[in-house]
Structure 1
Amino acid sequence: MGPVLSSLLSGTIDLKFAPQDGGSLTRQIYDRLRTAILSGALPRGYRLPSSRVLAEDFAVSRNTVSTVIDQLAVEGYIVVARGRRPVVAAVEKMQLVSGDQSLDHEPSGFMRVSRWARQVTRSDWHFTNEGGSPRPFAPGLADAREFPHEVWARCLRRAARSRHAAGIRANHPALRAALLSHLVEHRGVKADARRLIITSSAQAAIELISRVLLNEGDPAWIESPGYGGARVALEATGARVKGVTLDRSGLRLAGRTDRPRLIFCTPSHQYPTGRLMPIKRRQELLAFAAEAGAAIIEDDYDSEFHFDGRPVVALQGIDTASNVFYVGTFSKPMLPDIRVGYAIVPDGLVETFERMQRHTGQMVMGAMQLALAEFIGDGDFAAHIRRMTRIYRGRRDRLTHALASAAGSKLAITPPAGGMQLLARLEPGSDDCRLVADLAKVGVTARPLSRHFTGKTAEHGLFLGFAAWNEAEIDAGAELIGKTIARNLRGR
């Protein structure tokens, strides 16, 4: 080995290293030589020792060294000629960063993020379970302990063996037929199976609809307070998103003279207030959209769970102008890990959505679609919903009473008529973001109401899920909320 290479590699490559120590022998030698070339330690024109000499010095086989030399030559780091030792090629110097290190400087100018990306980073958007069991009271989580795992596993096994499940197939006819039958019976929708677009999540469906309908600068409305994920999807198109305030019936339409291109709403269980949009306001909204030429995205995210009588018929079911795009999900009524959503789109746009679906990769594995079709078709889906509705009703009542006992008048709660979460409003002057941060320190997850507003913040409170936790867990979590609120009040 020459003096330059010897001094360079001395102490950096253990000549007695084993494959498990930092990767294979081939990879370790390759990395060291490549780094030496890029750093300039092995300068342009430097002639490497022969493969026989390198193999002896590294205490490895000659084949291992030859493999490294061949790879470096293919990638242009060295030049190899028959009968001559390899020579370092003309390569610009650069400093490599190992995979477990991060850059200690800001990205260069061309790596700046878009205005939309900067808005997303300021939104209240976070994962509810970053490893381990979810903490109470993360909204929107079903209780995996109560799910019929054996039944679902049977559906998955059969689907995986089916010849109809090969690869990724968009909008499987079996799932379309089974899902439509369920939605007609339980949600009152009006459509044919061809109009069902199966996506990787409800969020993906909202984004797909927004991309199809909106151009940059188009006006779009969202409820305020409302679902932040919808705001992110609308803003990604470059639309001008406006938050529309609510009254007790939902979107406040009276006196508005502006005309949106698209309206996003959650009429069955308003997100996050839980309010139900009554039939009169629904009719007003449909008439307004028809007159304005606006489309409506109806997010029916958890309306399967209705505690007083049957679930309310979907807005799409009474739409006569084909303006409503109906969106739903399986992750709420089933399991968070089942990332499948869907949308019912107007008949004239089916082909457009199917093309967009393919070009944006919004497709679900055929086996998953077949498993869902069987789970629905055999009645297991409806049976699970009926059972969980009874359980969730009890948990809603339990959390309502536990919070009243732990926090008293410091929280104002109106129990929702359905769904998987509730809203607990704080006294005027409270800081819900600070309270949420303090709750996280004691193991309680909540979302601040103030972050759900688009534009001016009008209220503060805690958005709390109750579906995924049993009575003992609800009592313990509510007690922590009460104690944390008391500490915050003393600290003012």
Structure 2
Amino acid sequence: MDDLLPGMLHLVRDGGETLTRQLTDQLRGLITKGRLAPGQRLPSSRELAQSLGLSRNTASFAIEQLAAEGYVTLSAGRRPVVAEGLSLDSRKSSPRSSRGGGAQIRVSAWASSLQRSIWPPIHKERPRPFQPGLADEREFPHDEWSRCLRRAARNAPLRRDRPINHPPLQEALLRHLVVHRGIKAVANQILFVPTAQAGLTLVANALLEPGDHAWVESPGYGGANVAFQAAGAIVSGIPLDSQGMAISSHKETPRLIFVTPSHQYPTGRLMPIGRRLELLRFAETAGACIIEDDYDGEFHYEARPVAALQGLAPSPRVFYLGTFSKATYADIRIGYVVVPEALIDIFELAQRQMGILTSITIQDALAEFIGAGAYLGHIRRMTRLYRGRRDRMLQALATETGNRLAVETPAGGMQLRPAKPSTWFSARANRQVNPAPIATSITE
């Protein structure tokens, strides 16, 4: 082997790497790949230098580095010896490794179920025409947003105290939510998360124990199903009727209920006040909490937007979930959760420990964007734009399809959907049913 070792090394004398680095890396690779066996003696530094035409210092430095890393052992008066148990080649010990490129890694049942659970589907290419849920980024005031970002970036070194939820943004957003969504809260109840899905994950992990029951709308947003299952909950899809989630259709008592009352996804239906109060009374009696996802509640085309469920609650059981990406554009990846005041400390601790954090610089820019009135101005302009697109799309569908296609006129939101018969809804209350992908965006 002493004679073979030089032939296993290929040093480039005019390359970018030093000869010492090349020799060290190549010897290390031969050991980890099993080509130099554990217990095998290597040439001395003098012999190795002579066989490779190197200085003895180069060979000595390489061997000493490998000894410091634990790849070889050195003893006075003896040649270096390859240490035991360092080969990364498992083919000799695993008969299955020759088939399929090595042993397969088993994933959890939850991970395996993701492809069946996600709705809407994830498109990795450029956004497709009529893809629901995407704001029209062409209409966003990018110049004003850029100025806010630049000022926030310049202010970053001046911020000594760095809470994970930026107080100026909490205060600016609260003023907006109180006036325009009817929220009842104080500023530090607002936690900022990377996405609304991250907010779902935070609430699910903080509230649910394995085996708890959670309710979701059926049909509904598949991301809620994913978050609750990941927390170990037993998820039940509750059918909808003309007023929203049919609460009386299921017998098991839930720990957590997910609803989209302002603009149900994907039907676009509005939950009327009677059903909202019924849901709140049920949650109070059952000791359940509610996640109210107001994903596009900013856009309401008939009169004023309906006030949020959270503002009606007689006791703090409602978690209000929102996102900026629908009202602005997709690259502003910040969502928020309004949590009950008694849970602020524990939720901030859970948020920090789970790493569900967002850039303070982006939060600072958003605080200025909202405080200067640019956010509200953009929403009002986009409401007029989306309403016009909705009306033109409805007219075009009626012209092209006649009475062959009935379309429900949405009172708000960013998509519309052809009317479907009652077979939309699950015949089994414990089964989450997602509709066929025919929801249509009005943002293009």
Q: Which moved more, 1:294-303 or 1:420-429?
A: 420-429
Task: Supply the distance in 2 between the matched residues of 1:145 and 1:80 (Cα, whole angstroms).
Answer: 67
Task: Supply the distance in 2 between the matched residues of 1:181 and 1:315 (Cα, whole angstroms).
Answer: 17
Cα shift at 1:258: 2.8
Structure 1 match to 2:96: none
How many residues are paired up? 434
Cα shift at 1:113: 2.1
Structure 1 match to 2:308: 314
Residue 104 (1) aligns with residue 100 (2): yes
Q: Deviations over 1:17-48 (max 9, x none)?
A: 744xxx88776654432231123322333314
Task: Give the alignment partner of residue 175 of structure 1, picking from 154, 169, 194.
Answer: 169
TM-score under structure 1 length normalisation: 0.78
**Letter of the aligned partner of 1:76 in structure 2?**
G
Q: Quick one: structure 1 residues 460 and 369, their matched pair in 2 at CA, closer, same or farther if it must change by over 3 Å? A: closer
Cα shift at 1:400: 3.9
Task: Supply the distance in 1 between the matched residues of 2:437 and 2:139 (Cα, whole angstroms).
Answer: 29
Task: Supply the distance in 1 between the matched residues of 2:291 and 2:244 (Cα, whole angstroms).
Answer: 15
Cα shift at 1:129: 5.1
Q: Deviations over 1:296-324 (max 9, x none)?
A: 10000111111222211111111112211
Task: Give the alignment partner of residue 376 of structure 2, picking from 379, 382, 388.
Answer: 382
Quick check: 2:12–2:19 contact (8 Å CA) kept in 1? no
Residue 203 (1) aligns with residue 197 (2): yes
Q: Quick one: structure 1 residues 92 and 52, their matched pair in 2 at CA, closer, same or farther if it must change by over 3 Å? A: closer
Q: How does 1:39-188 map to 2 (within 5 A)?
A: 39-43=33-37, 44-48=39-43, 50=45, 57=52, 68-80=62-74, 86-95=80-89, 104-105=100-101, 107=103, 111-124=105-118, 128=122, 130=124, 133-162=126-155, 163=157, 165=159, 169-188=163-182
Quick check: 1:35–1:96 contact (8 Å CA) kept in 2? no
Quick check: 1:222–1:265 contact (8 Å CA) kept in 2? yes
Q: How does 1:216-231 map to 2 (within 5 A)?
A: 216-231=210-225
Task: Give the alignment partner of residue 351 of structure 1, picking from 345, 352, 374.
Answer: 345
Structure 1 match to 2:439: 463
Structure 2 match to 1:7: 7
Which ranges of structure 1 fall in alignment gaps of 5 or more residues?
98-102, 430-447, 470-492
Task: Supply the distance in 2 between the matched residues of 1:385 and 1:62 (Cα, whole angstroms).
Answer: 73
Cα shift at 1:287: 1.2
Task: Supply the distance in 2 between the matched residues of 1:57 and 1:66 (Cα, whole angstroms).
Answer: 13
Task: Supply the distance in 1 between the matched residues of 2:56 and 2:396 (Cα, whole angstroms).
Answer: 72
Cα shift at 1:181: 0.3
Specify the SS of the correspondent of 1:396.
helix
Quick check: 2:236–2:432 contact (8 Å CA) kept in 1? no
Q: Deviations over 1:330-360 (max 9, x none)?
A: 1111121222111111111111111111111
**Letter of the aligned partner of 1:298 in structure 2?**
E
Q: Deviations over 1:427-456 (max 9, x none)?
A: 999xxxxxxxxxxxxxxxxxx999xx9726
Task: Supply the distance in 2 between the matched residues of 1:461 and 1:333 (Cα, whole angstroms).
Answer: 23
Taking every aligned residue pair, what percent have the same amino acid on both sides?
49
Structure 2 match to 1:337: 331
Quick check: 2:173–2:367 contact (8 Å CA) kept in 1? yes
Cα shift at 1:75: 2.5
Q: Quick one: structure 1 residues 457 and 107, their matched pair in 2 at CA, closer, same or farther if it must change by over 3 Å? A: same
Q: Deviations over 1:113-165 (max 9, x none)?
A: 2222222243235774535x422232211122221111111111111222454
Structure 2 match to 1:481: none
Task: Supply the distance in 2 between the matched residues of 1:325 and 1:258 (Cα, whole angstroms).
Answer: 21
Which ranges of structure 2 fall in alignment gaps of 5 or more residues?
92-98
Task: Supply the distance in 1 between the matched residues of 2:396 and 2:238 (Cα, whole angstroms).
Answer: 33
Specify the SS of the correspondent of 1:3.
coil
Residue 416 (1) aligns with residue 410 (2): yes
Q: Which moved more, 1:204-213 or 1:388-397?
A: 388-397
Cα RMSD after superposing both structures:
3.5
Task: Supply the distance in 2 between the matched residues of 1:388 and 1:306 (Cα, whole angstroms).
Answer: 10
